[in-house]
Amino acid sequence: MIFSIFGHFYKTKKVDNHSSGDRFLVLIPAYKEDEIIIHTAEEALGHDFKGGEFDVVVIADKLKQSTVETIRNMGATVIEVFFDRSTKTKSINKALEEIQHDYDHIVILDADNVMEKNCLDILNGYLNKGFYAVQGHRTAKNRDSAFALLDSISEEINNHVFRKGHRALGFSSALIGSGMAFKFHFFKEIMKGNEEMGGEDKEAEFRIIGRRKKIAYADNAIIYDEKVSSAAVFAKQRTRWIAGQFYFFRDHFKPAFLHLLKGNFDYFEKFLQAFIPPRVLMLGVLPIMGLISLLIPSNIPWYSWFALLGIFLFANLISIPSRFYNRDFVSAALQLPKAIIAMMIGIFSVTTAHKTNFHTPKTKKSVEKK
């Protein structure tokens, strides 16, 4: 609730976007993304970076040879990787080993991401302002189905709470896996030994904040990202996130309290985020607990659960950008029961989700701007 309120007090920092002569690396890991990666590489190569020069490097993991050759002919560098068990982290670290050129900064994009005009210049400005890491504003590329819209709304709530709200109160922004930029050599340092599957961004957060570096948020650096269109994929993504949270709780329990004793509240607050379940799950659990307490009397009054549900709903509703409040919002809201059921079923596979390389096929090329 606190972060939801303070998200409205967030102010975009003014940064110098003028030419600095910096060299930027645009790194795009692509796993079985033949259908979309050529378009993504083309968009990245056509980006206008006034602040200096940039190279586009695509990491090809199980891409067709014809796709690899097409991307190379377009002018991008392609690094082919081969793993028995592929992960995004392995791909990135392997590429960093092979890249011979030196750069000032690096931005990580997913295979479906498209940068809006001035994106690199804005990210470059933040990194030249003293930040070592900055998360761009990732937003929906598509809202062509009720579930895609629901996923879009979820992303914007996260942007408001975990990025705007946190920065407004002096905490670091959360990273989100793509559309995130770093000082190049600093990124290579924090990626060493990072072998997370489905949680490389969260592990990076702990490593950055553990070094007492703040993660900035560039709300005006727009990166478009394809949203899911089915309940099954929606639930699988979030089940995997829950699985990752268990690992982060285990691995960072002791370090979190040590950092707290040293006054690193940013690290400890990041650790507490491991306790937060997905919103869709909360929407199902809170009313169920209220009904159970109503039928089976307990020390916690039934109305307490519904009061928590009311606060939870209010905090989320005030975090949704006004542009989403239209007739399509109702269609998305009607998908929530289906999402809740799929999420609860998915909980039973949470122990294996973190060990599985869950791949979401991407197909959307054009950006829907509404």
Mean pLDDT along residues 316-324: 94
Residue 339: name the closest of 255, 258, 227 by CA: 227
Q: What is the pLDDT of residues 87-142, one digit of tens each?
A: 899 999 999 999 989 999 999 999 999 999 999 999 999 999 999 999 999 999 98
Place of tokens 């929906």: 140
The neighbour count for residue 289, using CB atoms within 10 Å, is 18
Task: Report the predicted TM-score, pTM, of the whole model to 2 decimal places.
Answer: 0.89
Contact in structure between 76 and 44 (CB atoms under 8 Å): yes
Mean pLDDT along residues 44-51: 93
Per-residue model confidence (pLDDT) at position 38: 96
Per-residue model confidence (pLDDT) at position 292: 93
pLDDT at 5 over 80: yes
Structure tokens at 185: 């050599």
360 contact partners, CB below 8 Å, separation of at least 6: 228, 233, 237
- Per-residue pLDDT band for 337 (boundaries 50, 70, 90) equals confident
- Per-residue pLDDT band for 365 (boundaries 50, 70, 90) equals low
Quick one: which H or E segment has residue 154? helix 146-158
Per-residue model confidence (pLDDT) at position 336: 87
SS3 state of residue 33: coil
Per-residue model confidence (pLDDT) at position 156: 96
Structure tokens at 128: 């030249």
pLDDT at 205 over 70: yes
Structure tokens at 71: 């991307």
Q: How far apart are CA 43 and CA 278, in angstroms?
A: 32
Alpha carbon of 213 to those of 241, 301, 310, 311, 323: distances in Å?
24, 43, 36, 32, 34
Quick one: which H or E segment has residue 22? strand 22-31
Place of tokens 């002569």: 21
Contact in structure between 23 and 103 (CB atoms under 8 Å): yes
User: Phi and psi dihedrals of 145, rounded to 5?
Assistant: -150, 165
Per-residue model confidence (pLDDT) at position 202: 87
pLDDT at 12 over 90: no
Q: Pseudo-torsion of CA 329, 340, 33, 139, nearest 10°?
A: 40
Q: How far apart are CA 173 and CA 217, in angstroms?
A: 6
Mean pLDDT along residues 192-219: 86
Helices (H) and strands (E) in the chain — how many of each?
A: 16, 8
3-state helix/strand/coil string of 240-305:
HHHHHHHHHHHHHHHHHHHHHHCCCHHHHHHHHHHHCCCHHHHHHHHHHHHHHHHHCCCCCCHHHH
- Identify which has the larger pLDDT, 57 or 12: 57
Structure tokens at 145: 């189905």
Place of tokens 């089915």: 230
Per-residue model confidence (pLDDT) at position 174: 95
Quick one: which H or E segment has residue 79? strand 77-81
- Identify which has the larger pLDDT, 287 or 144: 287
pLDDT at 213 over 60: yes
Alpha carbon of 251 to those of 130, 196, 244: distances in Å?
29, 12, 11
**Percentage of residues in the chain having pLDDT higher than 90:** 61
- Per-residue pLDDT band for 187 (boundaries 50, 70, 90) equals very high
Q: How far apart are CA 316 and CA 320, in angstroms?
A: 7
In this structure, of 206-220, 252-266, 295-309, 329-343, the range with the lowest mean pLDDT score is 329-343
Q: How far apart are CA 159 and CA 12, in angstroms?
A: 13
* Paired strand residues for 79: 59
Q: Mean pLDDT score of the chain, rounded to an integer?
A: 88
Per-residue model confidence (pLDDT) at position 16: 74
Contact in structure between 18 and 52 (CB atoms under 8 Å): no
Per-residue model confidence (pLDDT) at position 128: 93
Mean pLDDT along residues 209-220: 96
pLDDT at 355 over 60: no
Domains within the chain, CATH numbers bracketed: 19-228 (3.90.550.10), 238-353 (no CATH)
pLDDT at 362 over 70: no
